[in-house]
Structure 1
Amino acid sequence: MTGLIMVTGLALAQQRITVASGDWAPYQGDTLPGGGPAGVIVAEAFASQGWEVTFEYLPWARGFTLAQQARNDGTFLYGYSDERAENFLYSDPIINLDTVIFYRKDRPIEWSAPGDLKRYTLGAVLEYNYGFIRESDGFTLDRIADPVSNFRKLAAGRVDGVLEEVMVGWDLAERAGVADRVAYHPRAVDSEPFHFIVSRSHPDAERIIATFNAGLSALRASGRLDEVLARN
C-alpha cells in the first residue's frame, strides 16, 4: 500500500501545466507576492491535487489568445460571457467582484438606469466582459490593452469614465498618477464571479477544470481560500 501511494504521488507530482496570468493588481500580477491572491489560489488548488503550475505573465490580450488557441493550459481571472463560453470551459467561481465606473471628480457621471450610460464613452480593456454594458447594445466602449492607460485617458478627458473593479481601479489610478482626481459611482454595473478558464480545444480541458475544481473545493473546505482572500 505504501509503495502504491508513493508511486501515485510521484505520478501526480510529474503533472505540470503552464497558465497565463495578467497584471490585475491587487488580485494578480508578477510583482505581487505569489503572483497575487488569485495566483496563490490557482497554484495551491492545483498543488493540492499534485499538479505543479508555471505562470506565464503576459499582456491580457496575448494571454487570452494563447489560451483560446490551447497554446497554454488555461488562464484567469475571467467573468462569464456566452460568447466566451463557446470557446472555453469555466471553473467553479474563485472570487466575486464588483465592476464600477470611475470618473473625474470635476466631470461626474450620473446614472440610475442602464440607458443613461449610452451617452458616455467608457474606457475598457480588450476581451473583458462588463455585464449589461455591451457595444452590441448601443454602449460606446473605448477598448485598449493597457488598463493603466485608461486612467490617463480619463484624466486627459479622452473618455468620460473607466469601467473597472473597485480595488483594481484604485491601484491603476495610483499608478497613472491620477488617484486624487478620480472617484467612482457607488452603483455597480456588474457583480459577478470570476473563474479559471481552459480552451475547449485543449485535449485535457475537462481534466484540467475538474482537477482545479477539486483543489478549489479543498481550499474552501479547509478555510484556506478565505484566508488568502482576506489578505487583499
Structure 2
Amino acid sequence: MKKCVLIKLILLCLGLSSYFSVAEQHPKPPPLDSDTLLTTGSSYFPYVDKDAQDGGWSVSLVKAVFKHMNTPIYIDILPWQRGYKWALEGKYQGTFPYVHTDERAKSFIYSKRINSIPVRIYTSKEMKVNTLADVTGARLCLPYGYSLSSEQSEFINAYKLSVQRAVDARGCIVQVSKGWGDIGFTNGYLKRDHNSKLLEVFDSVSIIDIPVATIPLYYIVSKELENAQAHIDEFNAALALIEQSGERGQIDARFEAIANQK
C-alpha cells in the first residue's frame, strides 16, 4: 500500500514539475491575422535587449510609433541575418534598427532616425591613447559582415587605418588583446554594467572614452513591398507626432538613464 502511495506521489511531483517548467517558459503567442509583422534581432544593448524594459530602446520607440499609427504589430526576434533576409524578401513589413549604407539603400527605404549609436574605440591594455591622433596608422579589426557608416569610413581614412578581419566581435577583441590588431570599434554603451557578459571579454582591452562617431539607426522597409514608401511616410508622420507630444523624449530619457548607469 505504502509503495503505491509513494509511486503516486512521485508521479504527481513529476507532473507538477512538468507544469511549472512549461509555465516558466511563457511561450510567445502566435501573431493575429490583423497584426503587422516586424522583425528585429537580439542582444544589441540598449536598443534591442530581451531583459530590458519593453524589449529595448528601439523596440519601445517602434511600438510607440505603431500605436500612433493605430496599427497592431507582432515583433519576431530572429537571428539578424535571417530577419534581414526575410524582411528584404517582403515576408516582414519592416525591420530595425539598422545603420545606413549605400549598398543597403539599394534594397531598402529608410525611416527618419529612431536612435543613435555613440561609437568608441578599444585598444590593447599596452597601447596608450590620449588623443585620436595616437591611433594614426593603426590596425583596425572589423568582424566579417560589419557595416561601416560614412562617419566610420571617414575616420578610417582620416587616421590612415589598415583594416583586418575576424569572424565576429569577440574575435576582434582577442586579436587586439593579443597584439595582432591595434583597435576595434564598439558601441559606447557596452562599457556599462548591463553588459556583464560582454564586459568579461572587454576586461582584456581598454575602451577609450573619446567620441569617434555618432551613427543614426533606422527602421527600414524592403523596396520589394508595393506600399513601402507610403508605409515609411506614415511611420515618419507618427514618429514626428511622438516627438511633438513629448512621448519620445520620455522614452529616450528612460533608456539614457539605464544605458548610462555605472
Tell whether the structures are fold-level matches, with TM greater than 0.5: yes
Q: Is the 8 A contact 1:130 1:190 kept in 2?
A: no
Which amino acid in 1 is paired with 2:243? R
SS in 1 for 2:150: coil
In 2: Cα distance, 1:103 partner to 1:56 partner: 35
The residue aligned with 1:122 is 141
Q: Is the 8 A contact 1:15 1:50 kept in 2?
A: no
Gaps of 5+ in 1: 1-12
> 1:142–1:78: structure 2 CA closer, same or farther, 3 Å change rule?
same
Q: Which has the larger radius of gyration?
A: 2
The residue aligned with 1:228 is 251
SS in 2 for 1:129: coil
> 1:158–1:46: structure 2 CA closer, same or farther, 3 Å change rule?
farther
Which amino acid in 1 is paired with 2:165? D
**Is 1:55 aligned with 2:75?**
yes
Q: Is the 8 A contact 1:19 1:53 kept in 2?
A: no
Q: Relative to structure 2, which stretch is displaced further, 40-49 or 99-108?
A: 99-108
In 1: Cα distance, 2:49 partner to 2:194 partner: 13
Aligned pairs (5 A) from 1:1-232 = 14=34, 16-108=36-128, 112=132, 116=136, 118-124=137-143, 126-134=145-153, 139-142=162-165, 144=167, 147=169, 150-151=172-173, 154-157=176-179, 159-168=181-190, 170=192, 174-176=196-198, 177-232=200-255
State the 1:191 CA deviation: 1.7
* TM-score, L = length of structure 1: 0.77
The CA RMSD over aligned residues, in Å, is: 3.1
* TM-score, L = length of structure 2: 0.69
> 1:23–1:221: structure 2 CA closer, same or farther, 3 Å change rule?
same
> 1:141–1:211: structure 2 CA closer, same or farther, 3 Å change rule?
farther
In 1: Cα distance, 2:46 partner to 2:72 partner: 23
Q: Is the 8 A contact 2:129 2:135 kept in 1?
A: no
State the 1:49 CA deviation: 0.9
Identity %: 23
The residue aligned with 1:5 is none
Q: Is the 8 A contact 2:35 2:74 kept in 1?
A: no
Ranked by relative contact order (alpha carbons within 8 Å, sequence separation 6 or more), the top structure is: 1
Q: Deviations over 1:17-45 (max 9, x none)?
A: 32333321122123322110210110110
SS in 1 for 2:251: helix
